[in-house]
Structure 1
């Protein structure tokens, strides 16, 4: 067999980029993340050049206001983001503006012009990944978004590349630092939600308007991205069942602690069996994808229960790799900028060597399972009259609606009692019917809370 000559890496001849033609970078936005991206680009220019093969040069930064002192030469700053993206000496566009508009139009303009894009915009990706990926495919450009989920934690690239030969069955994680800080503080101090939110705002963990975080919108966008990557199925934020933490009380945390559990806002993405009447995988039919975000009890021994403060963690369960856990800082300027720079180096190296990032993979096109069909265990907290026969009647309501009880704990107080009922697996719809029936019982004063229970073997 004749010998085949394989060129060494150092023998690779770069295209139009090199010492005399840097890879030009435009940064859109200079908030916490954008400022850190610019800082790293400038302070570590020599290292970045060595890693890429050609100089990586900042061409300009688009900002809203030119009056602020940003520590940059005036010629690098502009309010004309469209003009900056269109410049012929810009090869990679880094978008850290956030939101849908004008970020969407600017990214599409860059991709349509054949420029690579690095973005941290989870809200945009959760709804428009298909459109952006199609534009990247048409122009053979790169679209990178590691920083869109869990900040510095590398979870996007492992799903796209490291596990591309495996079958991912489940992804579950804590992907919002604000809510995890609040729930951790409530658990540790016994303070109520309002007090802890105020403290989180004072410390800078929560925005002035915390709705996106505390009502689960931020986590839902990230869950949509994770599910799309894990299951090769296009999932949007609208497909994600969402509940936030604003109704969680200190009493909920006390109840959780009594059963050796913590309360966490979880993003859960998993394959589930085909629905009733649908052919299952064995009969040639499709599985479904369940994607949901809600506060849930998890046993203290579960690895996610130990994730405290503003940290994030994601657990990926794959058929052959088994359980993998990714943990670290999920937000903040420097951690998120680290992920952005990792993508930027990849995009710049592809420009230099002629490679391409993996494109969107949605070949499986699995249907989305309705939340009503999704089985979960539940932790139901009731206030009832403390007299004979009440427990039996309450248990009867659960049985009437096909919800099996695992355990019941009763705490008496004067003529009132509190019942804490933990169920076996039950569908959302069956549990909702049960709760409605309980609320209508004369002997039930109130259904004070319903929390899901995750992380158990049952």
Structure 2
């Protein structure tokens, strides 16, 4: 008779309940796939008295984490409680106790992943975190397993469902930023304090993880150029549509000449590009490999069952490793010296919206600013606005980041010109 694998879960919220539901509903299939019986023994909760219905039947609930972490019968810990400090402390205890760990905590993995990976290896424990990026999309395992033989050149994608939902509303229903945020909060897609989502912080943390796995490089959050969507106006979204683009919050990691560049921000995506059609709270990750070419992975980026599916898939991998006696595995075994691309190596086209006095000769001064940095225009729209002013929208030719910085500095100093917004433009 096979040994039963006992599981302890930290957290009984949305994802925790989804994990238990999947383990119960798909028990027969999971038993066949793993050759093991997997059962949840204990769950750490905040409130034992809370009514959780039939889903909690047969499971011991506790408010004391040590009753889960120190239980000698528990083989695997699933951390789905969120937070950073508490989760790190609990996972550290679990690994030191020789327990395998599966977590959905992208903040923890982005900030402390290397430390936890080293601890897992030291204690011959498995550590997996597929659910930390893009919810139900198996992008991490795809990168480290399915694309292991390829040389990945670029990973970019929509990895924050909240901002994609808001941008969808702003694009398709002409909502303002404030209206879209309010609806996202009412539907539970955005927190009461949406800072991490709308300022690009959540996406940046996910890009830390994707960069680590795709390129073997450890990029810090402060090394990622990060912009959010707070300053986006409906007029910019409408102008982008007229020009054949959709604005999406995109995380990008690309490698060139042994260096990597990572950024997060609103980007004008050509209508024909697959990422332009990703709607609502869905996520998508676009991967370019030297051999495979372009591939895209699309699906729900959050939610009870999609995220729980990724957690249980990691648990199944751990169960197989336990059965085969091959534990001590982590996602990011590929490591490479971290090198950042220089400003001269980082290339992009840009969208700039500039408010200026509508007087003779001022447009010539504007063109001279760009010409001095050897940057040309791909598209130009000039429209008069009230008060003797004009708005000029420019899409530049490809330029490097050094040129971008020069132009922005000159526009800031220029009389009678006010840069309203500047965004990257994805090449078609």
TM-score (norm 1): 0.89
**Partner residue of 1:4?**
none
CA distance in 1, matches of 2:262, 2:16: 31
CA distance in 1, matches of 2:149, 2:404: 38
**Partner residue of 1:322?**
293
C-alpha distance 224-370 of structure 1, shift in aligned 2 (>3 A)? farther
CA contact (8 A) 2:212 2:332 kept: no
Mapped pair 1:42 → 2:24:
yes
Mapped pair 1:443 → 2:416:
yes
CA distance in 2, matches of 1:233, 1:221: 14
**Partner residue of 2:196?**
212
**Partner residue of 1:427?**
400
**Partner residue of 2:34?**
52
Runs of 4+ in 1 over 6 A off after TM superposition: none
CA distance in 1, matches of 2:176, 2:106: 30
CA distance in 1, matches of 2:103, 2:220: 17
**Partner residue of 1:146?**
130
Q: Secondary structure at the match of 2:42?
A: strand
Structure 2, unpaired ranges of 5+ = none
Greater CA drift, 350-359 or 304-313: 350-359
**Partner residue of 1:282?**
none
CA distance in 1, matches of 2:416, 2:202: 40
C-alpha distance 139-272 of structure 1, shift in aligned 2 (>3 A)? same
CA contact (8 A) 1:137 1:359 kept: no
CA distance in 2, matches of 1:151, 1:75: 25
CA contact (8 A) 1:288 1:366 kept: yes
**1:333 to partner: Cα distance:** 0.9
Larger Rg: 1
CA distance in 2, matches of 1:392, 1:82: 71
CA distance in 1, matches of 2:61, 2:346: 50
**Partner residue of 2:185?**
201
CA distance in 2, matches of 1:229, 1:212: 23
CA distance in 2, matches of 1:319, 1:156: 18
Mapped pair 1:393 → 2:378:
no
Mapped pair 1:24 → 2:6:
yes
1:395-429 C-alpha deviation (Å, 9 max, x unpaired): 10112234333232212346322111111222334
**Partner residue of 2:305?**
334
Structure 1, unpaired ranges of 5+ = 1-17, 274-286
**Partner residue of 2:231?**
247
Greater CA drift, 45-54 or 182-191: 45-54
CA contact (8 A) 1:26 1:60 kept: yes
The 5 Å alignment of 1:54-453 reads 54-71=36-53, 72-73=56-57, 76-273=60-257, 287-356=258-327, 357-358=329-330, 360-369=332-341, 374-413=346-385, 415-444=388-417, 446-453=418-425
CA distance in 2, matches of 1:383, 1:218: 32
TM-score (norm 2): 0.95
**1:233 to partner: Cα distance:** 1.6
CA distance in 1, matches of 2:373, 2:427: 24
C-alpha distance 455-338 of structure 1, shift in aligned 2 (>3 A)? farther
C-alpha distance 268-41 of structure 1, shift in aligned 2 (>3 A)? same
Across the aligned residues of Structure 1 and Structure 2, the Cα RMSD in angstroms comes to 1.7
CA distance in 1, matches of 2:81, 2:43: 11
Greater CA drift, 412-421 or 172-181: 412-421
